[in-house]
């Protein structure tokens, strides 16, 4: 196990819990996808798995272990020393995180310097980026530009390449392809899978796109209101057990679908505003029963799956 969260709970403000007792493990070389709607807590979980909760959020309980080290107990300098070297997080809207007043290759040089005592010159930096750039349609000339000259999609792919640059063992990717068109998204997902196969790194993809998760991941965890509600090998999500997963699968649009052929989930995900006293999906669940209103279901093992629903015990 290269990365493992145990019973991780985060609090924002006095009583909002973006993540509630989440346990999740990533094997070396594994591709895991965490899927769910916006507002369900995926981004909070992504940052906490890197040992850096989002501003305004704090860990209340639980742990995150990376390669046997408890991240929240490490001195800040030691933890910082892991980033972009052994763990890389590509945040949502990573394209906005480049320094606006320096050409992009200098950002790449800063990332390379985190893993090397040798200062790289411009040509050496461009050489390091060449193969990945070719695979992602990013000519070397783009790295000589300032960020404002490039499209959001180009910068997003550049942010991905920077995350890969030092071959970290774990990649945390928060909606890394949301600024890309369908074809570039597929190409990027293929490159990502290829890079992971070559380096043996593990990755967690945080996404609302269940179709992409199914195609890309080995295993999928469905995340709703700060909790995992179902976890299964990716191919098993074709027969989802949890009503929320069924709703997500039913709402996902695939090429070739007739217009308006998909059902959505009524309502929207909101963060937990206190310890759960009932099923978090109760108000939106089409199959809710009376007892779902007063008992908070636990995650139960069902063969190679885990599911949080009283109907599946
Ligand atoms: S526990 Fe009840 S409300 Fe929750 S998902 Fe299952 S059936 Fe629906």
Residue 254 is predicted with a pLDDT of: 60
Calpha distance 168→199 (Å, rounded): 9
Calpha distance 223→230 (Å, rounded): 7
Please identify, by atom number, the ligand 1 atom nearest to the C-alpha of residue 297. 1
Cα dihedral angle (62, 67, 68, 74), rounded to 10 degrees?
A: -70
Nearest CA to ligand 1 atom 5: 309
Per residue in 232-278, pLDDT (tens digit) is 999 998 899 999 999 998 887 665 555 554 567 878 888 888 889 99
Domains and CATH numbers, the chain: 1-86+181-253+269-313 (3.40.50.300), 88-167 (no CATH)
Query: How many angstroms separate the alpha carbon of residue 243 from the centre of ligand 1?
Result: 7
**Mutate which of 292, 294, 295, 308 to test ligand 1's pocket (most atoms within 8 Å of Cβ)?**
292
Cα dihedral angle (74, 3, 215, 259), rounded to 10 degrees?
A: -50
CB of 112 within 8 A of CB of 128?
yes
Q: What percent of the chain has pLDDT over 90?
A: 73
Residue linked to tokens 């490159």? 191
Residue 223: which of 187, 257, 248 has the closest Cα? 248
Q: In a structure prediction context, what are the per-residue pLDDT tens digits for the chain, which is 313 residues long?
A: 999 999 999 999 989 999 999 999 999 999 999 999 988 999 999 999 999 999 999 999 999 999 999 999 999 999 999 999 999 999 988 777 899 999 999 999 999 999 887 888 899 999 999 988 999 999 999 999 999 999 989 999 999 999 999 999 999 999 988 878 888 888 888 899 999 999 999 999 999 988 889 989 999 999 999 999 999 999 998 899 999 999 998 887 665 555 554 567 878 888 888 889 999 999 999 999 999 999 899 999 999 999 999 987 7
Residue 211 is predicted with a pLDDT of: 86
């Amino acid at each position: 196990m290269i990365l493992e969260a145990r019973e991780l709970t985060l609090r924002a403000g006095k009583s909002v819990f973006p993540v509630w007792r989440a346990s999740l493990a990533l094997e070396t070389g594994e591709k895991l996808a965490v899927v769910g709607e916006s507002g369900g807590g995926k981004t909070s979980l992504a940052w906490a798995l890197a040992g850096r909760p989002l501003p305004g959020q704090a860990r209340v309980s639980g742990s995150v272990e990376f390669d046997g080290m408890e991240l929240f107990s490490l001195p800040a300098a030691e933890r910082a020393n892991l980033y972009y070297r052994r763990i890389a997080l590509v945040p949502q809207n990573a394209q906005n995180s480049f320094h606006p007043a320096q050409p992009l290759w200098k950002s790449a040089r800063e990332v390379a310097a985190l893993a090397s005592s040798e200062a790289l010159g411009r040509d050496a930096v461009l050489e390091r980026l060449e193969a990945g750039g070719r695979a992602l349609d990013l000519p070397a000339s783009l790295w000589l530009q300032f960020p404002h000259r490039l499209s959001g999609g180009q910068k997003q792919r550049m942010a991905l390449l920077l995350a890969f640059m030092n071959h970290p063992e774990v990649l945390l990717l928060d909606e890394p392809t949301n600024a890309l068109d369908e074809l570039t998204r597929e190409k990027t997902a293929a490159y990502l899978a290829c890079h992971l196969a070559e380096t043996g790194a593990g990755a967690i993809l945080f996404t609302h796109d269940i179709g992409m998760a199914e195609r890309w991941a080995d295993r999928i965890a469905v995340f709703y209101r700060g909790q995992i509600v179902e976890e299964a090998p990716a191919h098993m999500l074709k027969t989802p057990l949890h009503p929320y997963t069924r709703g997500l699968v039913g709402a996902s649009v695939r090429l070739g679908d007739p217009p308006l052929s998909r059902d959505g989930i009524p309502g929207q995900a909101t963060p937990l505003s206190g310890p759960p006293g009932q099923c978090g999906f109760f108000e939106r669940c089409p199959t809710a029963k009376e007892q779902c209103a007063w008992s908070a279901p636990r995650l139960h093992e069902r063969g190679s799956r885990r599911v949080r629903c009283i109907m599946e015990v």
